[in-house]
Structure 1
Amino acid sequence: MSTIAEIAVHLDLSERRVRELQGMNVLPKAARGQMDSDVCRVAYIRYLRDLQPEPSQPGDLDPAQERARKDRALAEQTEMKNEETRGHLVEIAAVTAQVSREYGVIRQRFMGIRGKLSDALDPKQTIRVEGEIIEALEELSDPDKFDAILVAFDKQAKHKAKQESKK
């Protein structure tokens, strides 16, 4: 059997806190020096466990996290609408269609160069010019290079938007 002081040391609490816990019916009340330290330890551990919120189960939604996620999505949506209104956003499909049309015009113009120069050049030079034209057209039609152009365009647009937002 233990005293309140011994129970306090055993549970790493102050004597005052032990009395408070007895008043809250967390720890058993007993006559002076008649407290069982094992019973008090188990009662205190159960009390501490009851204070902890139950761990969330997989699939449980945390309302605060869900609210924050929703707020973040709404803020991004509003920001995109504002950027669109300012003219800083473009529709990828429209840009792709425009660039494809322009590449078609470039291809036609490049392929016409050989015919225009064939009278002024000897056959070896004509073949070399044609090879250079074909190489240039292949580079333009490479999807990886086209994606790189779009990425560069996107970076340039973002930089321009940042510059304007600082004004």
Structure 2
Amino acid sequence: MATQHEVAKHLGISHKMVSDMVAMGQIDKQPRGQYDLDKCREQYISKLREQAAGRAAAGDLDLAEERARLAKEQADAKEMENATARGELVYIEEVATTIEKQFTKVRTKLLGIPTKVAPEAHACATVKEVQAIIEQSIIEALNDLVGIDERDAEE
């Protein structure tokens, strides 16, 4: 039987490391001076094997868990790349910019309706004719919203 100091000397590690391993449950806690050197050596070797295999946690990080997380992130990135290539995924900034340009164009057309329609409306004989002219101009402006033409959006 041995003390933690003797276990540390036997394993070639510091007393603090032995204490830490006991605290983490990697070496079974024993009463003072009751540590079995062979059993401690086996537990220490087991810990080293786990670390070498990448299955042991290093502090707050678990290497296997981190590798799995990285693999998932890489798979997600590739999935997004493929979805973008197929046209199933778009960048929100591009969509917002295109829509903003379309709305600006429609706004300009709608605000231009009074100037465009006034001379025609003045020449009309009936209210129905004025209504038809105004309605046609509004439909023209709104038709720009129906289909987004990329060439128009770039203007």
Same fold by TM-score greater than 0.5: no
TM-score range, shorter chain: 0.3 to 0.5
* TM-score (normalised: structure 2): 0.37
